[in-house]
Structure 1
Amino acid sequence: MSPSVQEPLRRVLVTGGAGYIGSHVVFSLQETKRYKVVSIDNHHNSHSKALDHVAKIARDALLPDASERDRDSAEIDAQVCDLTSPAQVRKVFEKYGKGGIWGVIHIAAYKAVGESTEIPLTYYANNVSATINLLQIMSEFDCTRMVYSSSATVYGTPPIIPIPETTRLEAHSPYGKTKIMCETLLEDLCNAEPTRWRALSLRYFNPAGAHPSGQIGEEPIGRPGNLLPLLAHMAVGRVKDDKLKVFGNDYPTPDGTCVRDYLHVLDLARGHLLALDALAPDSHVFDNCPTEARYKAYNLGKGKGLSVLQIVEAMRKATGYDYKYEIIGRRKGDVPDLTADPSLAEKELGFNAPQDLETMCRDLWNWQIKHPHGYEDVVPVKSLDSSEVKTDVNGHGGAATVDRNGV
């Protein structure tokens, strides 16, 4: 009998499910037809319509004679919920009862490095305290599996390139420190209750691109802080700058501009799926753990860096837009090269990131021209006190990736 007949759908809670990364993770879960997605999101930096688009992709992929189970897997239980409110989170878990949610993929977080230095308490409350609340409620409802979306920003300025997971953790910002704190508390929890808890932290690099249908993609609030969506907005006319400012061309890199590790957002999303599957009882991922604790961290990246000017040239080919750029001085805090060593995830999770830069740019542009003003110009809720949500050059969806890209 097929797996879809043998067992019921496993309910998986995705925090930040309507965000850039979250929506693509939800797509990857639905694509398997093995999971029922429960999304919680307060739409601080996301659009509710994103999940409508994801569900449509799943419905359109169903066969005419699809089973009720498969049809159920195509529908998302989308809950508007703030992780800083334990009562709201508990209400979601109460809907399904003890053991009703199989596991959690925790993506939601505030993510702007610069902003975190200005309002650190807000970041610690939202990213750390809310994660503690979530874990306490998960434990209460016998949901003891978590995939945690961490970030390569935990490495700070790494001493070794490409960066292995054994690199010391030394974040330079409150945002990065919140990621280290959440990884630490997960590891401590798995050590404290090794027979109950299983968790994997995913330290990922720079996601890019969009679903090839063009139905979901990256839609930042305000001016994009990341290189690729900024270039897309310039080409579509939403950003009116005559020139792109590039910070420094005298770094020890092939063309002198900063190098970052970009991977397609769908490759990243499928990495989350592999990590979730690795939390199953029959998984062997934890067999080589040094203690009883079932906890590990993995890098998700391509293991190949791309420079600012390489990205600009690739987007020029994808869009046909004649980008002009201006080299200005280096910016404080920029690191020459942040490239992942993904070999551990490749070996133990079966992870790979085969899609190339041309595909990332093509898919990004396909999304942008189909949605020149984003998700039908829906204005998302802003939950910070600031009048304008600030972005860093590499913040993505629910969790940021690495330090700034040199633009």
Structure 2
Amino acid sequence: MKQKIIITGGTGYIGSHTAVEFIMKGFNVVLVDDLSNSEVSVLDRIQEITGTKPLFEQIDLTDNNRTKSFFNAHKDASGVINFAALKAVGESVKKPIKYYHNNINILLNVLENMENQGISNLIFSSSATVYGLPDVLPITEENQTKRPTSPYGNTKKVAEEIIEDLTKVSESLNAISLRYFNPIGAHDSLKIGEAPNGIPNNLMPFITQTAAGIRRELKIFGNDYDTPDGTAVRDYLHVVDLAKAHVLAFERLISNQSKSNFEVYNLGTGTGYSVLDVINSFEKTTGISLNYSYDKRRDGDVPQLYSNPNKAQTNLNWKALLTLDDMTLSSWKWEQNLRNGY
């Protein structure tokens, strides 16, 4: 019997790449998503890559009655990967209630129904934003979490605290929180990638849409940070490397290798790249010159965030292998596929 894994937010950017990795490892994958920032056609693309079309249910997981029915139908699952959340930093600053209502209620409903059905293993999709404005770089898991600079980031911090509190009293729940830095890139099949609805919130789709002529110019938010070139510095990692980490983390849970009921891991390359570094890589790998200008700093952004990923390397046997050039080139090839009607 294949082990069943539930992936919430499973048709999204990271969720779909993670679904591919789990299917390729022989898991029976069940995806649930409300399709607010993804398309159902992703299921066919996953099938084209893996030969298997995952089971899918369209559900708003803030609705506990529907969530309860879903978990009742999949009580034989070995665990849950929880991606389902709103994730735009800027929007969260303007609409905090929307973010707290959505992200926290989804987590509470998932945890309650996992507990009711006896599903023990949880991988939580967290974020480097839980470190707030860091005192020391690179960031290790020993860095104290702080009040993040955005409501989005705070939903991740509060979510981790909820999970940790539950693992202290639950007889069965084991959880790993994966703190992502900045995933970009696309699957090498070019069948799945980042395809946000509306105006992008992240740098890479803004770059590719500008190169494709959809956006007139790329706005760089802030060129007066205390960084080498004045633009914000982030730790970018390829989404496929990120997806593979979820399989390794889940295998750690189901093989009872965790040293505590709640573990946290940074996922990054350990290298900080500025916005201009990413633009330069894109222009080098594609031969396209980008039209960009500087704008004021964006609310909720911090000057620098980059990781020390050694703990994940040691305990999960995971390391980010793909380069920034791999990330920018695959992002552009994926964008071209989209523009060609894929």
Would the TM-score normalized by the shorter structure come out above 0.5? Answer: yes
Structure 2 equivalent of residue 12 of structure 1: 5
Alpha-carbon distance, 1:75 to partner:
2.9
- Are the aligned partners of 2:179 and 2:266 in contact in 1 as well (CA < 8 Å)? yes
Q: Deviations over 1:278-304 (max 9, x none)?
A: 111x33231xx4xxxx11111100000
Query: Any idea what SS the aligned residue of 1:150 has?
Result: strand
Structure 2 equivalent of residue 254 of structure 1: 228
Change (3 A) 1:373 1:175: farther
Work out which of the residue numbers 56, 60, 66 in structure 1 matches 2:48.
Answer: 56
* Partner Cα separation in structure 2 for residue 352 and residue 120 of structure 1: 34
Structure 1 equivalent of residue 257 of structure 2: 284
1:180-199 equivalences under 5 Å are: 180-193=157-170, 195-199=171-175
Structure 1 equivalent of residue 57 of structure 2: 79
Q: Please state if 1:177 is matched with 2:154.
A: yes
Change (3 A) 1:250 1:38: same
Structure 1 equivalent of residue 31 of structure 2: 39
Q: Deviations over 1:332-361 (max 9, x none)?
A: 554321101111111111111010011111
What is the TM-score with the length of structure 2 in the denominator?
A: 0.95
Change (3 A) 1:329 1:95: closer
Flag the structure with larger Rg: 1
Counterpart residue identity of residue 122, structure 2? M
- Are the aligned partners of 1:209 and 1:360 in contact in 2 as well (CA < 8 Å)? yes
* Partner Cα separation in structure 2 for residue 93 and residue 159 of structure 1: 41
1:326-337 equivalences under 5 Å are: 326-328=293-295, 330-331=297-298, 333-337=300-304
Alpha-carbon distance, 1:109 to partner:
0.3
Counterpart residue identity of residue 236, structure 2? Y
Once the two structures are aligned, what percentage of the paired residues are identical?
41
Query: Any idea what SS the aligned residue of 2:207 has?
Result: helix
CA RMSD of aligned residues (A): 1.6
* Partner Cα separation in structure 1 for residue 279 and residue 166 of structure 2: 44
* Partner Cα separation in structure 2 for residue 28 and residue 346 of structure 1: 18
Q: Please state if 1:214 is matched with 2:206.
A: no
Q: Give the number of equivalent residue pairs.
A: 341
Alpha-carbon distance, 1:36 to partner:
0.5
Change (3 A) 1:373 1:233: farther
Change (3 A) 1:332 1:91: closer
Q: Deviations over 1:16-39 (max 9, x none)?
A: 000001000101101112x11100
Structure 1 equivalent of residue 16 of structure 2: 23
* Partner Cα separation in structure 1 for residue 245 and residue 39 of structure 2: 23
Higher relative contact order (CA 8 A, sep 6+): 1
* Partner Cα separation in structure 2 for residue 332 and residue 141 of structure 1: 41
Q: Deviations over 1:136-195 (max 9, x none)?
A: 1111111121000011111111111101112222212221111111111111111002x4
Q: Deviations over 1:213-267 (max 9, x none)?
A: 11000001112221111111111121123xx333444433333322110000000
| Range 13-22 or range 178-187, more displaced | 178-187
Query: Any idea what SS the aligned residue of 2:56 has?
Result: strand
Structure 1 equivalent of residue 128 of structure 2: 152
What is the TM-score with the length of structure 1 in the denominator?
A: 0.80
Q: Please state if 1:226 is matched with 2:193.
A: no
Any stretches of 5+ residues in structure 2 without a counterpart?
A: none
Change (3 A) 1:176 1:330: closer
- Are the aligned partners of 1:212 and 1:366 in contact in 2 as well (CA < 8 Å)? no
Counterpart residue identity of residue 36, structure 1? N
Q: Please state if 1:310 is matched with 2:302.
A: no
Counterpart residue identity of residue 216, structure 2? K
| Range 335-344 or range 35-44, more displaced | 335-344
Any stretches of 5+ residues in structure 1 without a counterpart?
A: 1-7, 60-73, 377-407
Counterpart residue identity of residue 211, structure 2? A
Counterpart residue identity of residue 19, structure 2? V
Work out which of the residue numbers 89, 104, 120 in structure 1 matches 2:80.
Answer: 104
Q: Deviations over 1:102-131 (max 9, x none)?
A: 100000101122222333222222111221
- Are the aligned partners of 2:216 and 2:291 in contact in 1 as well (CA < 8 Å)? no
* Partner Cα separation in structure 2 for residue 295 and residue 151 of structure 1: 16
| Range 75-84 or range 108-117, more displaced | 108-117
Counterpart residue identity of residue 338, structure 2? H
Q: Please state if 1:120 is matched with 2:113.
A: no
